[in-house]
A and B are shown apart, each in its own frame.
Chain A
Amino acid sequence: MNTSNPNANNTIVNLRDVRFRWKRTSDLVLDIETLEISKGEKVFIKGPSGSGKSTLLNLMAGVLVSEAGQVNVNGSALDKLSGAKRDHFRANNIGFIFQMFNLIPYLSVLENVTLPLDFSANRKKSFPSAKEVRTDAIRLLSNLGISEDMLKRPVTDLSIGQQQRVAAARAMIGAPPLLIADEPTSSLDYNTRESFIKLLFSECEQSDITLVFVSHDGSLEKLFDRSIELSSINKASSNANTEVAA
């Protein structure tokens, strides 16, 4: 699963002629000729609501399958994998941060952070024992500004900003090669936003994680290595209609 393709040794995401629509009869949501993202890159993908940003992320994460074209992520051809294998792939390779409601409400901060390891043997492998898991969770959380005394707290006690940082720690535990963030800052105010992004960056650099970040709000794009306007690579963008959720 994780065997990297020698031809794409420095590319982690490679999309070719990818087309996607929700139903056979509906219009194309995505039609992307080519999209390459290099390992270690921090990429900002910008587009208005309904432009297909979330759909693109779902394709990269192997939740959705394209109608045509090749989706290669970290050496795996997602378009050729079965559903169960794509789930397996996602568990091992991808960390995900949502816009909001990121956390499982009935788990503590620590349990939320370590949850992905239960679904991924690969990510768990880097920790010899439960103690190391805990140590690393505490390290990630403190790097992201969550103090240790919050570990046992129910996540519902946290502010939105704190919740997003816990979600980031969860997405990065076990160092998945690719971190996908779907408007993670839109529920934060401007000051918190920038500090959140900076924490995210330093953590990605430390753990060698590639970051794909989508947002409709261009104010953050200057912080990234590269910014892509989705409409510039998506030939279906003119057809994008409002029935498609962002």
Chain B
Amino acid sequence: MSVMVRRRIVSRIAETLCAGAVLLALVPLALILFYVLRQGIGALNIAFFTEMPKPVGEPGGGMANAIVGTLILIGIAALFAVPIGCVCGIHLAEYPDTKFSSVVRFAADVMNGVPSIVVGIFAYGIVVLPVKRFSAIAGGIALGLLMLPIVVRTTEELLRLVPAGLREGALALGATRGRAVFTVIVPAALPGILTGILVAIARVAGETAPLLFTSFNNRFWSTNLGQPIASLTVQVFSYAISPYEDWHRQAWAGAFLLVAIILTLSILARLSVRGLEKMNRP
């Protein structure tokens, strides 16, 4: 057997193994999507989006309050995490090698690894206990704390993707450093930064643990930020552990909606980052 043939065979085997591994990795995703879709599609109807939860024994009902609640919670979280995270990310990208930057970067990475339940307990300790009330704000802050490191790191990474020529051009035309950053580099990286925010939102939208003891849950319609608020994840959790078929179906529908939201956000994120990548490869 010649060397060439042997090499070709080895290469073929390696390729097959790689392809097999990729398929194996995709199987769980496909199975999850398929299973949640199959279980959830039955309970998914207009009422699910427009009606309030009904007690056991009454058919129908929906999760209108939980859907709105989840949106409000994400809104509060984004309001809190996006400005801080973006400014932080810009700093890291602009001054990448200072001691302070490496400390901030390390802190963000550590924060990223903190289990979400710990963040929930933290928010319970600093927001819920002092005012003695579960509230939407507490839940939003917990989610915001989870979003923050993701926004910081993605903003930094994506600002660095902006071609150096853009910055040099701006500086050569006499722009100050601040002006170059905020009118040239950040706008160029904007799709990427938006992606980071979307990824961060997708990450926290599916969180249950940090909400259990912060935003709590609410059977009623409530948009009061100082009161407990319903969320899809907690509602799914409390339905899933109940003994009733009816509630299980609703839980599946809620799970399906959550997966759909997160999938959509992820796809949006992919699409918007594509623009940035194109710019980088002229």
**Are A and B bound to each other?**
no
| Residues of A that sit less than 8 Å from B by CB | none
